[in-house]
Amino acid sequence: MPGGVETYPTTLDTLTTLMRVVNEPAAGWPTLTLPCGIADFTLTVSDGSIFPADGAVIIDKEVIYFSSVANNILTVEAAGRGADGTTRVAHAAGSEVRSVLSARTHAVLAAAIIATQDGAVAVAGDTMTGPLNVTSLTGTTLGVFSVEAVARASAYTQTFATADKTHAADASADLATTAVTQTTPFGFAGAAQGDNIATQFNLLRAAVADLKQLVNSVIDDLQAYGFLS
């Protein structure tokens, strides 16, 4: 609908969809250069360039919504005469034409603000740039950092119960590969070498457990954010 409409969250609002008003020019407001009859739906003004592409004006006491401006002619919406409870009347040439902050202007802008705060964000077919803070996201696909949106991944099965957020350093070391006895019975060059294998195995086991706990924490966090099932 021309003349201002809140389109979010179906699409992102723009200056084209939202209703706009302008300040009074230094030279004063334009005037009608031709009379506007009670049945007319065009306003011919002395300077149409000061008006936005669509919006509302007030002439005498009548609020009028227009949908386009071209060659100093404002085209009035189909139901744009006598708007906001005002009376539709004829206007003489020379009548002042002022941009007005109307009830509908306020309602459209208020709806756009409220739509960004209601905790439900689902913008179809548009890319949102800059910081985004939302309470929740609705929809079946998600993509960030210019990645094509995809469906949410299936749920992970977590049979390892422990989780922590400390990724410890690997404490294991390489095992010696020489000095092992090469005759039957095969064995170690000494007790220290045999003990070291057990030590390094236990260190690797601890490292694997630590990694599993870290992965568990990451999965838990992503599930809490809704990125994983």
Kindly write down the DSSP assignment for every residue of 153-200, as one continuous string.
BPPPP-------S--PPP---PPP-SS-B-SSSPB-SSHHHHHHHHHH
Write out the E strands in 34-110.
Answer: 42-44, 55-59, 62-70, 73-76, 97-99
Q: What is the pTM for the complete model shown?
A: 0.51
Tell whether the torsion through CA atoms of 82, 85, 89 and 92 is positive or negative: negative
Contact assessment for residue 42 and residue 73, using Cβ atoms and an 8 Å cutoff: yes
What pLDDT does residue 4 have? 64
> Which helix (H) or strand (E) is 217 found in, with range?
helix 191-225
CA torsion, points 175, 181, 187, 191, in degrees to nearest 10?
Answer: -60
| Residue 39 CA, distance from chain mean position | 43
Judged by phi (left if over 0) then psi (alpha if -120 to 50, else beta), residue 187 lies in beta
Per-residue pLDDT of the chain (229 residues; tens, 9 = 90+): 445 666 776 777 776 677 778 889 999 999 999 999 999 999 999 999 999 888 899 999 999 999 889 999 999 999 999 998 999 999 999 999 999 887 777 887 787 777 776 644 455 555 555 555 555 556 667 666 666 776 766 777 777 777 787 777 777 776 665 555 555 555 666 777 778 888 888 888 888 888 888 888 888 877 776 777 7
For 73, the token pair is: 């002619």
Contact assessment for residue 56 and residue 104, using Cβ atoms and an 8 Å cutoff: yes
In one-letter notation, the amino acid at residue 45 is V
What pLDDT does residue 10 have? 72
Contact assessment for residue 59 and residue 96, using Cβ atoms and an 8 Å cutoff: yes
- Upper half-sphere CA count for residue 181 (Cβ side, 13 Å): 10
**Backbone phi and psi for residue 95, each to the nearest 5 degrees, phi listed first:** -70, 140
Contact assessment for residue 117 and residue 100, using Cβ atoms and an 8 Å cutoff: no
3-state SS class at 43: strand
Q: Distance of CA 171 to CAs 11, 110, 210, Å?
A: 54, 60, 12
In one-letter notation, the amino acid at residue 64 is I
